[in-house]
Amino acid sequence: MAVKISSQSMWTWMFQRLSGLFLGFFLVTHLNVHHLFHDITSAGLISFETVRTNLASSGFWKVYYFLFVPFIVFHALNGLWAIIADYRMPGTLSILIKTAFWIFAAALIITGFFTLKNLF
């Protein structure tokens, strides 16, 4: 018979690691594709238009960057929450901070998605 468990900390722990792996993979791919294979910075080609054309060249990048936004927001804010949670605080303050984090996360993701929408 399955035993009951409060699993929220387990999932946040797991997604922190998964998002970390994704971000590591993202950084390596981003640097390789945009700076080693197509070096747009040293060639003096860096501009909104060149970056936009480069990114819009394939649907892959669209998916890639739309995934990047929620992953990095989760990874950063969850990591920050893990530090804050180390300090003892009353339940109401904890709920207030968590709510502020959710609002901040939503604002960051919406801003990120709007920026990407204009880019593609």
Residues 103 and 97: their CA atoms lie apart, in Å, by: 10
Q: Nearest approach, Cβ of 71 to another protein (angstroms)?
A: 19
> Is-contact 26 64, C-beta < 8 A?
yes
Neighbours of 80 (CB within 10 A): 13
Told to check if 90 binds another protein by CB under 8 A, we report no
Q: Nearest approach, Cβ of 98 to another protein (angstroms)?
A: 13
Dig out the tokens for 35 from the structure: 């700076």
Which region among 2-10, 18-26, 65-73, 95-103 touches another protein (by CB under 8 A)?
2-10
CA distances from 99 to 6, 19, 70 (A): 20, 21, 17
> Is-contact 55 65, C-beta < 8 A?
yes
Q: Nearest approach, Cβ of 16 to another protein (angstroms)?
A: 10
Told to check if 7 binds another protein by CB under 8 A, we report yes
Compute how many residues bind another protein; rule: CB under 8 A. Answer: 17
Q: Closest CB to another protein among 9 and 41?
A: 9
What residue ranges bind another protein (CB under 8 A)? 2-10, 12-14, 82, 85-88
